[in-house]
Structures are given as C-alpha cells and as structure tokens.
Structure 1
Amino acid sequence: MANHLLFFQERVVGRVKAVAASSPVPWDHFVLLQMSPIESKLTCFAMSRHCQNIDSSNKQRIAQPPRSNGGQSDVTFNFINQCVDTIWVGSTPSIGILDPEFGPENLVIFDGPDRWSGIMWARTNCTTNSSGYFSCDTGDCGTGEEDCQGPAPPYPVTLLNFTINNPTVSYQINLNHGWNKQVRIRPDGGTLVGGSGPCPEVDCSGNIQDVCPSSLVATGKNGLAAGCFSPCDGYKDPKTCCTGDFSGPQACQPSQVSQAFKGLCPQAHTYPADNDPPIYTCKGAAGYNVTFCPL
C-alpha cells in the first residue's frame, strides 16, 4: 500500500500534485480526487494527520476532511460523478464551489458553510463558444460563466434542496421543475430528527426520459433529448401547477406524468403537494454523499 499514489488537484491554488499515500498533505478546503477505475485495493489518503481508507472499487467510501477543534465544523459534501459525461454543479445562493466542473469517475470533497439554505443541480453538455461565453443544455446559469451567482436555473432540472443549520441538515430531491440527471443523496451516518434510526438516503436513479411524453422533452444543442419538463412548466395550466382552484393539499393532485415520475423515483417529490417521503432532517452525519448517475 505504501507504493500507491493518489493524484489530486488543489483547485483553490491551481496546483497539481502526485502524493504518496504515506505522505501527509494539508487540507485546502476543496480537493478533486481522480482515481483509476481499475484499482481495487484500499488506498490510504493522509490529510493533516487524518487518514481514512478509500475503496476505489466502491465510490461510496470517501475520505472525510478533519474536523476543527471546538465549535461546529462545516458540513461536508462528497460529490461523486458516475455519469459517462462531465457535469458542472450549480447552486443558488452560491455555496462556494470554486471549480464546478466534475468529470466522469471524479469525486469531490467540499466543506460547505454551517448555515445555508438553497438548491443544487447538475448542468449538462456545457460548452464555451469562440467569444468565451459559457452555456449549458440544461441547468444553465445565464451568466456566460462557469460560476453560478444568479437566480435558479431555467428548467428542466433535477433540484437538490438543502437547508443546513449545523448540526442538522434537511434534504430532498425535487422534480417539480422537471428532470435532467439521476441523483442520490446518502448521509454518512447520523440520526433522523423526529424519528428513529439512521438518516435515510433519497434516490432518483430512474431514467425519467423513459417516461417523458414527447410534448415535454427538452432538447439540447445537438437536437437530442436533454431532459424532461414537469407538467406544470410544460403545460402551464392551473391543474398541474396546483394554482387557483387547484391550490392546497386536497385540490392539488398528481397528474399522470407526475405519477410516472414517481414510479421511477418514489423518493423524489414530483408535484407541488407531494410530501411522500417527507423532507428529512438529519443530525450528526459525517457528510452527505451526492452521487450523480448512481449505479
């Protein structure tokens, strides 16, 4: 194991290093780990005298940053991209991800703030034109830049809702504004607030494109399907948007399309009055594994 090397990039300072597993390296807030998909042995990653095993054959076991002494530490997010394509993570308000580009087979360890409430999402098929303008087929921020600083993205997009009030974190997957990538949120340990047992994972690993009506298909620059609009955003009628006479938990009912969404992603919220499952609140988790295109 002493001969194993882990290649990683410190995006904050823009330096690239190859470090022997036995060599301690400083934690610098944001680290991109790039592991060979063929490596099957456990590799030990040392961070500021803190060492944990990383099983590169199982991307769910991820090194955690060291906790600060005294007071509450920040909340750790472990972003894992198991998609075949590169994604760019967006958030609003900005959670502070300095380099949002995550290639295939990458995992990113990021310490978020201990107080934050907002949404995260994946941007897909992003390109920069000859004028330097950055844009994406889905989840585009509309600023022409990789870093999202503006309002919520145009739909359709799979939304991850988080409210961080350390040591508690509330989380859900929301398809009320459509879908563009499969995703899973898996807390690492912790206990469920207001319930018993561990913090549940929420998963939307089904391919919503398989049940998307042609009238709701969103296409990308290449003319291929890039996502699926929600019935509300696609049809804009009060019944599917649960407005006017259809507002409120009794009058707001799922449409056939949102029921099809639910069939593939039963743990996601698929229409405005959907509260099954409830928005979970977790306390004491070591981190939150956010996996795009979970296997």
Structure 2
Amino acid sequence: MTIRFDNRVAIVTGAGGGLGRTYALELARRGAKVVVNDLGGSRDGTGHSDAALKVVEEIKAAGGEAMSDGGSVTEYEHMVELVAKTKEKWGGIHVLINNAGVLRDKSFAKMEPADFKFVVDVHLNGSAMCTKAVWETMREQNYGRILMTASSTGLYGNFGQANYGAAKLGLAGLTKTLAIEGAKNNIKVNTIAPTAGTRMTEDLFPAEAFAAFAPEKVAPAAIYLVSEDAPTNMIVGAGAGVFQAAYVTLTQGKLLTGDELSAEGIAAHWAEITDRTGELTPQSGAEQSLSIMRKLQGG
C-alpha cells in the first residue's frame, strides 16, 4: 500500500539542505503541505541564507504546496507564531520532523562551555520547543506524528562530540516520554539516527562513501516513522539503504543481600549483573522498578 500524506500538514526543521530538504521534498511528493524551516546558517549555526526559499520553490515547481520559515528552533515564541501561521493557512499540523542541528566538534578538554550549551540548545531544547509548540494542536486533533533526530554519537559515543552526543541521547529520552504521554491522543513519537553525506558531514566522509550515504537513502525511514501506520517509541538507525532498530535494554540483574550488599559484592558478582541472557527491553521507566520487585519476590 502506498504511503500518502494527502490533507496532512508537515513542519520540517533544518529543511534547507541535506536530510531535511530530502524529507520535505518526499513528504510534498506524497501529498503533504510542507513548512520548510531553516535558519540557513553555516554548520556551526552562524549566518543566514535563503536555503528554505529554494526548497519551497522546488516543491512548488513539482506541483506541491509549501511555505518557508527562517526562524530559529531555539526561540519558542517564534515556533508558537509559526504554528499559528501554519494553522491559519492550512488548518492543522499533523507531522513534525525535528531535524535542525549544528556541529561544534572539539575534544571535551578543548571545548568551551558556550559551545557545549549552544549545541545542546539547538538540538535538544530546539526540538523540545518545536514539539511543545505543536503538542496542543496534535492533542486537540487526536493525531500527531513526531520524529526526533538522534545519532549514533548519542547512542554509542564519538570522539570530539561530547556536546552533540549529550544532546542526541537526550532526544532519544525525550521521545520515550512523549510516546507514552501522547499515546492516548494518537500522537506517535519516534527517533531516527541517520548516517548521511550532507553539508554537516561532507569533510568526514571519503568521496565514494559520501555518495553511498546519500540523504535519499535515509528518507524512507523518516517517511515511514511519521506515516499514519507508524510504530511509536522506536529508535531507528538509517544509512546507505540499511535500516536498524536500536534498543535501550536492561539485564535481569542480581539481588545482593547481607555482606554481599557492598562494593565488594558488586565486584564479586559483576559477571552475573552484566549477563545479557534474558535481557529486557522496558517500555517505560516503571518497568525497571517492576523488574526489581520481581527479583525481591523471587529472592
């Protein structure tokens, strides 16, 4: 069955180039009315450009409907205005893809606190502000599809990206709570961890890999994760046409009592504590407490 977005309105942040542009074009091709948000600055978040306008022109040239927005995702008041303007024009907002981002890579030893704060502000707080701006509309509609953009750096770490990694794992955590809170109003929230050759990564990839990791090979996952029949509370890795699911898991653990309830007991039982046999994938934080209760009852 073809996935369509007719009569749906989508906001894509950071959509002036790279992944965001590809998402916006594909949503429009499938019938969505698209708000193309992009500050249009350079990779470190400075400067401006008319990148968003160009993507809107591309969408319109292909027969689609779109409007541009040049506001920063970090400015909540602007995002509220954008939502109001979008609803006035098209009546609702059904899809939000939080894609806007910046890089200020340095080893933690050399990273200025301002560079740490700025990257967290754009990725994590910016995504939260955009989501907050659309949340009530989606609740009222009893329909919403939201996609956060995490990263393998957030999930697994990467040298020189402490700020970026902290923000990206934060987004996966934000997704998990919003998926629970949004469920009763048919709001599905997912996380994508893309690997793509874009302006953000062009000097990190060899030339041939850059082509293999085209944004078009990530977009199918993003489109599916904001579609009507999307799952919720998933973390999906995507790159070069390969798609993966990532999970935050929990081992069965080991109950320690008496003299063993000590740092030395932890050391002695470390292998059992970290044994991944029968590993759990909790769907909420409460499930960790429940797994502990089961251990207590069984022990």
What is the TM-score normalised by the length of structure 2? Answer: 0.28
What is the TM-score normalised by the length of structure 1? Answer: 0.28
Greater relative contact order, per chain length (Cα 8 Å cut-off, separation 6+): 1
Higher helix share: 2
Larger radius of gyration: 2
